[in-house]
C-alpha cells in the first residue's frame, strides 16, 4: 500500500474560515461602480402566445432604466444546452408559468422588482398539458414535436416474455415520485460587467462555468475570448446550478450589454422555485420475474419523467435512469423503455442522483415484494442476486474488481442488527418500529451519453516562494472540491497542504472541463491535476535529490519524500527550499494537465455497451417509527455503507454522506411541490417543507474503499451516491413496521394511513 | 409613484460602534445591514423568515432580519456575523468548532446558524442536544445533514 501524506486525511477545509466569518463573497455580495439591477418579468400562465409587452407603467417607477426583450439579443435566440429548444427570451410563445419573458433594469433591486411587476404582457392563452402520462397519449394537445416525447431510450437483452412465462415468481407494481426542489440556500444569481473592448465578464453562482460561457457568448454573439466567467462562492448546487445558471447569467449579460453598465440579477426565492430546474417527477411500472431458487431472471420497466416545457437536461437525466433502471442485480433478460414527456410546467433537470432516485424507489420497493413472494429475507434475496466483479450489468458491461457491492450490503446488514430487527417489528402502544433495506449502484462520470464532455483540465503553478496555485474547471459548491483537490496536489508535489491554493473557476485560465456534475470532480479534475503536477514533481524530486547530495547526504540510502519534506541519509530539505532551488535552476514550475475519461459505449437500438467507466455502490437500512393512529412516520436511524473508492478526506466524505442521506430522506418524507392547473401553488419554505434539525435521524456510516486503478489515488466518485437508496429503504421500513406499502413519494402520513386502513 | 419616501433618523449600536443614519422608514433590517451598512455576511435566503440565513442578534436575541424593519433597531444593539468574536478578539468558539467539526459546507447558512447558536448559548449555556435541535430548527441547511452542526454547537458549550 502506497504511503500517503495528505490524501486520506481529514485536513481542514480550505474555505471554512471565510464562510464561518461571513467574508465569503457570493454573487449577491459583489458590487461594482455604476452597477444596475435587473428583475425578471414572468409569464403568468402555463402556455401563452405573447401579443405585446409594454413598459408604459413601469417607466414611472423612480430609477427605471430599460426593458430587455428578445429584440435585444444580438446572437441566436437559443440557449445552447443539450437540444437547444429553449430561447433566452421567448418571442412568440411562453411555455410555462414563471418563464422569464423580459427583464427590467433599474438603479436598485427594489425599483427593478417594482417596475417588473408593472410591465404589462398582453397574451392569448393556448391549450396546455400538465400531466406527463396524458402528454404521451395519442389525442393529447401537442406542445413538443409530434408526440410530446422529449427523449426516449431502450435497453433490450435476452427473451423477456419467455422468462416471465417460465418464472416461478413474478411481481409488478406502479410507482411515482414527486418533484424535488434543490433548496440550495443561496438562490440563483449573476453579475455581468461589460469590458472596455466590448467583452463581458460574468460573476456567476454556478456548478458549470463553461455552460455559462457557451450561453453568454451565444446570447451576445461574442467570441469566447471576449467572455470571461468567474465562479463566485456558490451557496449549494445539488444539480440545481448545473444548467440554469447559464440562463440567469445570460439574462444579466443581455442587460449589461444593452445598458453598458454592470448589472446584478439575484433571484428571489419564489421565482427560483417557479422557474429554475427541479428533480423530475417520475412514474414507473416495474415487473420482475424469478426462478424457483429465487434468482431474478427478468425485469421489465416502463419509466416516464415529467420533463417540463423545455428539454434542458432531460435526455441525459433519463439516460442515467435508464441504465440503472433494473437495480444492481444480475439479470439475463431485460426490457426497459423510458420516456421524458413535455408538459407546460417548469423544466426539470439535474438533481443529485440524476434520474436514478425515482426509478430506484420503484425497483428497490418491488425487490422487497419479490423477496417476500419467494419467501426469502430481503437482504439475503439481494445478496443472492447482486452484481459482483466479473458479472455483467444489464447493458452487458463487465464489472471490474472495484466493486464492493456485496461488502456494503453485508456491512449494513451487520451494523444495523438486521436479522433480529426485521423479524420482530417493535410495538409500543400505537407506535411500531420497522426496518427496511436498499442497495444501489451508480455510474461515475458522464458515461456514454455525455462522453464528449467527459474531460477536464488543470493548471498548476509553483511560485518562487513555494506557494502553489491550482486552477481547475470544476467548481466548489459546498462539497469540498477546493480542499480535496488541494490534497491531491499536495500529495503529488510533496508540497505542504497549507501552501496549496485551488482557485474558484476562471473560464479564461483553464480549458473547458465539462460540468461539475455526475460525482466527477475528484476523478476528472483530480487526474488532470496529477497529470499537470507530475512533471513538476519530477523536477522537484530531482532537485531535492541534488540538494541533499550537495549537503553531503549518504546516497546509498533511498530518498524519502513525505509531508513536504525530502530526506536521505540523515539530511533533510523542505519543499520551500527545493522550490527555490528549482527556480534558481530556471526550471519550468508550471504545467497544464488534461484528463479524458476512458471510452464508453451505448448502442441506441438495444442499449448495450460499457455505459460508464466505473461504478460506486451503496447500501442503506432505515429504521422508521409509524404511528398507527395517524400514519405519521419518523425516520429514527439510517445505516449506510459506500464503496466510492479511496476516500480523499474522511471528514468531508462523511459530510457528503450525512447531507445526501438527509436530502434523500427529506424527499422521501416531506417534500411535496404542488401544481394546480399548471400553476405552482407552494413556492416557499413554509408550504414546501424540507428537513430541519428536528427531523434529523441518527446516522451510522462506513466506507469500504475498493481501489479504482484509474482514479486519483484510487478514488471514484461519491457526491450523489448517498441520496439514491434512502427513499426505498424508508418505504420498505414502513412496510415492515405496519404492512403499509406506499408506492408514491413523498411518503405522507395520509398515504400511509390509507394503506394501514386497507389492512 | 411620485410619493416622497418618509425617512427616519436611526440611532443604534452596530457591532460595538455607534451608528446614526437617515433611512427610509420602509427599509427592512436586512436591506439596511447589507445595502446601507455594506455588511454582506448576513445572507438573504428567502426574504420571508423561513430559512434563518439572515439571522442577526438584536439586544442579544436572534431575529430574522428580513422580517424586522430597520427603524425597530432604534436605540438597540445589533450584532452581525462580522461582530461575532472570541474574547481575545479572534475567532469565536462557535466559529472554531464549526470549522473543526466540518459543519461548514456551502457556507450560505453558516452565519445564521452561528448567530442562532450564539443566542441560545448566551441564554442557556447548558443547552442540551434537544434544546439545540429545537433552537436551530428555524435555520435551514441543505448540505450537512445537521449532524456536524449539532456537534459543533455541543463542543462550543465547553469552549465558552
pLDDT attached to residue A69: 98
Judge whether residue B1 has pLDDT over 50: no
A-B contacts at Cβ under 8 angstroms: 170
Contact indicator for A109, A264 with CB cutoff of 8 Å: yes
In angstroms, the separation between the Cα of residue B43 and the nearest Cα of chain A is 8
Q: Domain B7-82 adopts which CATH fold?
A: Ubiquitin-like (UB roll) (3.10.20)
Q: Percent of chain B scored above 70 by pLDDT?
A: 97
> Given B84, B104, B133, which is nearest A16 (Cβ)?
B104
Residue of B nearest to A18 (CA): B107
Cell 404521451 appears where?
A: A136
In angstroms, the separation between the Cα of residue A492 and the nearest Cα of chain B is 25
* Touching B: A residues 465-494, CB under 8 Å: 477-480
> Given A60, A187, A234, which is nearest B106 (Cβ)?
A234
Q: Provide CATH 1.10.150.120 ranges for chain B.
A: 93-159
Residue B27 touches partner A, C-beta closer than 8 Å? no
| Of the candidates B69, B46, B62, B78, the residue with the CA atom closest to the CA atom of residue B142 | B46
DSSP characters for A169-183? Answer: EEEEEEEEE--B---
Residue A136: partners with Cβ closer than 8 Å, 6 or more residues away: A147, A148, A149, A304, A339, A341
Residue A62 touches partner B, C-beta closer than 8 Å? yes
In angstroms, the separation between the Cα of residue A695 and the nearest Cα of chain B is 9
Residue of A nearest to B139 (CA): A692
What is the phi-psi region of residue A429: left when phi exceeds 0, alpha when psi lies from -120 to 50, beta otherwise? left
According to DSSP, the β-strands at A282-290 and A169-177 are antiparallel
Residue A94: partners with Cβ closer than 8 Å, 6 or more residues away: A43, A47, A48, A50, A101, A123
The least confident of A421-425, A545-549, A672-676, B79-83 is A421-425
The mean per-residue pLDDT over the stretch A238-258 comes to: 98
> Given A236, A268, A696, which is nearest B108 (Cβ)?
A236
Q: What are the tens digits of pLDDT across the range A657-705? A: 999 999 999 999 999 999 999 999 999 999 999 999 999 999 999 999 9
Residue B100 touches partner A, C-beta closer than 8 Å? yes
Judge whether residue A56 has pLDDT over 70: yes
Residue A54 touches partner B, C-beta closer than 8 Å? no
Q: What is the 3-state secondary structure (H, E, C) of A7-23?
A: CCCCCCCCCHHHHHCCC
In angstroms, the separation between the Cα of residue A8 and the nearest Cα of chain B is 16
Cell 471565510 appears where?
A: A18
The mean per-residue pLDDT over the stretch B73-93 comes to: 97
Asked if A21's CB is within 8 angstroms of B91's CB, the reply is yes
Which burial class, exposed, middle or buried, applies to A146 when counting CB atoms under 10 A from its CB (0-12, 13-18, 19+)? exposed
Joined together, the cell numbers standing for residue A245 give 445558471
Residue of A nearest to B147 (CA): A658
Interface test with A, best of B100, B145, B146 (most A CBs within 10 A): B145
Q: Provide CATH 3.10.20.30 ranges for chain B.
A: 7-82
Contact indicator for A77, A66 with CB cutoff of 8 Å: no
What's the CA gap between A521 and A483, in Å, rounded? Answer: 12
Asked if A235's CB is within 8 angstroms of B106's CB, the reply is yes
Mean predicted lDDT score pLDDT of chain A = 97
What's the CA gap between A564 and A685, in Å, rounded? Answer: 48
pLDDT attached to residue B3: 52
Q: Name the pLDDT band for A534 (thresholds 50, 70, 90).
A: very high
Q: What are the tens digits of pLDDT across the range A565-614? A: 999 999 999 999 999 999 999 999 999 999 999 999 999 999 999 999 99
The mean per-residue pLDDT over the stretch A539-556 comes to: 96
pLDDT attached to residue B2: 44
What's the CA gap between A702 and A712, in Å, rounded? Answer: 21
Whether domain B93-159 has CATH 1.10.150.120: the reply is yes
Residue A19 touches partner B, C-beta closer than 8 Å? yes
Contacts of B46 in chain A (CB under 8 A): 269, 684-685
Residue of B nearest to A114 (CA): B1
Q: What are the tens digits of pLDDT across the range A347-358? A: 999 999 999 999
In angstroms, the separation between the Cα of residue B12 and the nearest Cα of chain A is 21
Judge whether residue A466 has pLDDT over 80: yes
pLDDT attached to residue A635: 98
Asked if A699's CB is within 8 angstroms of B140's CB, the reply is no
Interface test with A, best of B2, B94, B101, B107 (most A CBs within 10 A): B107
Contacts of B37 in chain A (CB under 8 A): none
What's the CA gap between B139 and B110, in Å, rounded? Answer: 9
Residue B111 touches partner A, C-beta closer than 8 Å? yes
Element (H, E) at A381: helix A378-385
The mean per-residue pLDDT over the stretch A454-475 comes to: 97
Residue A751: partners with Cβ closer than 8 Å, 6 or more residues away: A631, A742, A744
Asked if B150's CB is within 8 angstroms of A696's CB, the reply is yes
Question: Residue A40 CA to chain centroid, in angstroms?
Answer: 26
What's the CA gap between A754 and A738, in Å, rounded? Answer: 12
According to DSSP, the β-strands at B7-14 and B77-79 are parallel
Contact indicator for A470, A485 with CB cutoff of 8 Å: yes
> For chain A, which domains are there?
16-22+455-596 (3.30.365.10), 31-126+190-265 (3.90.1170.50), 282-387+402-448+602-758 (3.30.365.10)
ipTM: 0.98
DSSP B32: I
Q: What are the tens digits of pLDDT across the range A309-338? A: 999 999 999 999 999 999 999 999 999 999
pLDDT attached to residue B4: 63
What's the CA gap between B109 and B106, in Å, rounded? Answer: 8
In angstroms, the separation between the Cα of residue A694 and the nearest Cα of chain B is 6
pLDDT attached to residue B160: 54
Cell 450490503 appears where?
A: A409
Interface test with A, best of B83, B142, B150 (most A CBs within 10 A): B142
What's the CA gap between B106 and A362, in Å, rounded? Answer: 31
| Geometric angle at alpha carbon B114, from B110 and B119, rounded to 5° | 150
The mean per-residue pLDDT over the stretch A194-214 comes to: 98
What's the CA gap between A38 and B156, in Å, rounded? Answer: 42
Residue B33 touches partner A, C-beta closer than 8 Å? no
In angstroms, the separation between the Cα of residue B129 and the nearest Cα of chain A is 10
Residue A163: partners with Cβ closer than 8 Å, 6 or more residues away: A289, A297, A298, A332, A333
Residue A61 touches partner B, C-beta closer than 8 Å? yes
In angstroms, the separation between the Cα of residue A240 and the nearest Cα of chain B is 12
* Touching A: B residues 54-73, CB under 8 Å: none
What's the CA gap between A600 and A377, in Å, rounded? Answer: 36
Asked if A238's CB is within 8 angstroms of B150's CB, the reply is no
Amino acid at each position: 500500500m502506497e504511503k500517503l501524506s495528505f490524501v486520506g486525511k481529514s485536513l481542514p477545509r480550505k474555505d471554512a474560515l471565510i464562510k464561518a466569518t461571513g467574508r465569503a463573497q457570493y454573487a449577491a455580495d459583489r458590487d461594482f461602480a455604476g452597477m444596475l439591477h435587473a428583475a425578471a418579468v414572468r409569464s403568468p400562465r402555463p402556455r401563452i402566445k405573447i401579443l405585446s409587452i409594454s413598459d408604459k407603467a413601469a417607466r414611472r417607477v423612480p430609477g427605471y432604466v430599460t426593458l430587455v426583450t428578445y429584440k435585444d439579443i444580438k446572437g441566436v435566440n437559443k440557449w445552447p444546452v443539450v437540444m437547444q429548444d429553449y430561447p433566452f427570451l421567448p418571442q412568440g410563445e411562453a411555455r410555462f408559468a414563471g418563464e422569464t419573458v423580459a427583464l427590467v433594469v433599474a438603479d436598485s433591486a427594489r425599483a427593478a422588482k417594482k417596475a417588473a411587476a408593472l410591465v404589462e404582457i398582453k397574451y392569448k392563452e393556448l391549450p396546455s398539458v400538465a400531466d406527463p402520462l396524458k402528454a404521451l397519449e395519442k389525442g393529447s394537445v401537442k406542445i413538443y414535436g409530434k408526440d410530446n416525447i422529449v427523449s426516449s431510450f431502450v435497453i433490450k437483452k435476452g427473451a423477456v416474455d419467455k422468462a416471465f412465462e417460465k418464472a416461478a415468481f413474478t411481481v409488478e407494481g406502479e410507482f411515482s415520485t414527486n418533484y424535488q426542489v434543490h433548496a440550495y440556500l443561496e438562490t440563483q444569481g449573476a453579475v455581468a460587467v461589460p469590458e472596455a473592448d466590448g467583452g463581458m465578464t460574468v460573476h456567476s453562482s454556478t456548478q458549470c462555468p463553461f455552460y455559462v460561457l457557451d450561453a453568454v457568448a451565444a446570447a451576445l454573439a461574442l467570441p469566447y475570448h471576449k467572455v470571461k466567467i468567474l465562479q463566485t462562492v456558490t451557496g449549494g448546487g445539488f444539480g440545481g446550478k448545473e444548467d440554469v445558471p447559464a440562463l440567469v447569467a445570460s439574462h444579466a449579460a443581455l442587460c449589461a450589454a444593452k445598458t453598458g453598465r454592470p448589472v446584478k440579477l439575484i433571484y428571489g426565492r419564489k421565482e427560483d422555485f417557479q422557474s429554475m430546474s427541479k428533480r423530475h417527477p417520475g412514474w414507473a411500472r416495474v415487473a420482475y420475474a424469478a426462478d424457483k431458487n429465487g434468482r431474478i431472471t427478468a425485469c421489465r420497466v416502463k419509466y416516464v419523467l415529467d420533463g417540463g416545457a423545455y428539454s434542458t437536461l432531460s435526455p441525459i437525466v433519463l439516460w442515467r435512469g435508464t441504465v440503472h433502471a433494473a437495480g444492481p442485480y444480475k439479470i439475463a433478460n431485460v426490457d426497459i423503455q423510458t420516456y421524458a414527456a413535455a408538459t407546460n410546467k417548469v423544466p426539470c433537470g439535474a438533481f443529485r442522483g440524476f434520474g436514478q432516485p425515482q426509478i430506484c424507489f420503484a425497483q428497490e420497493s418491488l425487490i422487497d415484494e419479490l423477496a417476500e413472494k419467494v419467501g426469502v429475507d430481503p437482504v439475503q434475496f439481494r445478496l443472492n442476486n447482486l452484481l459482483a466483479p466479473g458479472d455483467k450489468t444489464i447493458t452487458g458491461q463487465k464489472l471490474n474488481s472495484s466493486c464492493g457491492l456485496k461488502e456494503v450490503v453485508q456491512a449494513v446488514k451487520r451494523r444495523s442488527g438486521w436479522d433480529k430487527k426485521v423479524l420482530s417489528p417493535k410495538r409500543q402502544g400505537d407506535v411500531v418500529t420497522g426496518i427496511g433495506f436498499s442497495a444501489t449502484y451508480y455510474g461515475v462520470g458522464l458515461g456514454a451519453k455525455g462522453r464528449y464532455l467527459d474531460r477536464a483540465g488543470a493548471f498548476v503553478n509553483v511560485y518562487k516562494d513555494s506557494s502553489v496555485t491550482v486552477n481547475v474547471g470544476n467548481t466548489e459548491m459546498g462539497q469540498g472540491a477546493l480542499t480535496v483537490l488541494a490534497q491531491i496536489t499536495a500529495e503529488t508535489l510533496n508540497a505542504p497542504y497549507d501552501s496549496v491554493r485551488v482557485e474558484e473557476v476562471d473560464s479564461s485560465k483553464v480549458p473547458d472541463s465539462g460540468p461539475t456534475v455526475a460525482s466527477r470532480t475528484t476523478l476528472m479534475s483530480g487526474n488532470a491535476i496529477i497529470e499537470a503536477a507530475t512533471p513538476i514533481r519530477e523536477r522537484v524530486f530531482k532537485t531535492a535529490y541534488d540538494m541533499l547530495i550537495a549537503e553531503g547526504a549518504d546516497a546509498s540510502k533511498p530518498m524519502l519524500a513525505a509531508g513536504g519534506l525530502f530526506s536521505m541519509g540523515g539530511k533533510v530539505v523542505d519543499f520551500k527550499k527545493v522550490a527555490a532551488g528549482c527556480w534558481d535552476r530556471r526550471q519550468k514550475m508550471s504545467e497544464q494537465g488534461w484528463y479524458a475519461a476512458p471510452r464508453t459505449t451505448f448502442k441506441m437500438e438495444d442499449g448495450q455497451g460499457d455505459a460508464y467507466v466505473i461504478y460506486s455502490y451503496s447500501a442503506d437500512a432505515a429504521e422508521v417509527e409509524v404511528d398507527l393512529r395517524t400514519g405519521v412516520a419518523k425516520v429514527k436511524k439510517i445505516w449506510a455503507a459506500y464503496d466510492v473508492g479511496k476516500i480523499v478526506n474522511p471528514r468531508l466524505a462523511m459530510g457528503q454522506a450525512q447531507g445526501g442521506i438527509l436530502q434523500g430522506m427529506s424527499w422521501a418524507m416531506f417534500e411535496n411541490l404542488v401544481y394546480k392547473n399548471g400553476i405552482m401553488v407552494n413556492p416557499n419554505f413554509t408550504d414546501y417543507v424540507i428537513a430541519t434539525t428536528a427531523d434529523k435521524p441518527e446516522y451510522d456510516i462506513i466506507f469500504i474503499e475498493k481501489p479504482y486503478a484509474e482514479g486519483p489515488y484510487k478514488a471514484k466518485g461519491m457526491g450523489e451516491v448517498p441520496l439514491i437508496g434512502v427513499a426505498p429503504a424508508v418505504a420498505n421500513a414502513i412496510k415492515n413496521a405496519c404492512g403499509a406499502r406506499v408506492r408514491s413519494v413523498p411518503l405522507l402520513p395520509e398515504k400511509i394511513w390509507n394503506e394501514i386502513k386497507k389492512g | 409613484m411620485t410619493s416622497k419616501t418618509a425617512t427616519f433618523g436611526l440611532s443604534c449600536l452596530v457591532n460595538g460602534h455607534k451608528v446614526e443614519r437617515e433611512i427610509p422608514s420602509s427599509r427592512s433590517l436586512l436591506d439596511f445591514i447589507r445595502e446601507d451598512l455594506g455588511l454582506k455576511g448576513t445572507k438573504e435566503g428567502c426574504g420571508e423568515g423561513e430559512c434563518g440565513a439572515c439571522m442577526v442578534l438584536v439586544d442579544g436575541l436572534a431575529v430574522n432580519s428580513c422580517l424586522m424593519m430597520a427603524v425597530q433597531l432604534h436605540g438597540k444593539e445589533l450584532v452581525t456575523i462580522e461582530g461575532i468574536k472570541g474574547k481575545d478578539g479572534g475567532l469565536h468558539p462557535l466559529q472554531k468548532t464549526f470549522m473543526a467539526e466540518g459543519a461548514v459546507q456551502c457556507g450560505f447558512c453558516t452565519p445564521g446558524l452561528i448567530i442562532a447558536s450564539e443566542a441560545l448559548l448566551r441564554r442557556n449555556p447548558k443547552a442540551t442536544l434537544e434544546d439545540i435541535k429545537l433552537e436551530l430548527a428555524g435555520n435551514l441547511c441543505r448540505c450537512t445533514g445537521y449532524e456536524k452542526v449539532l456537534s459543533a454547537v455541543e463542543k462550543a458549550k465547553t469552549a465558552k
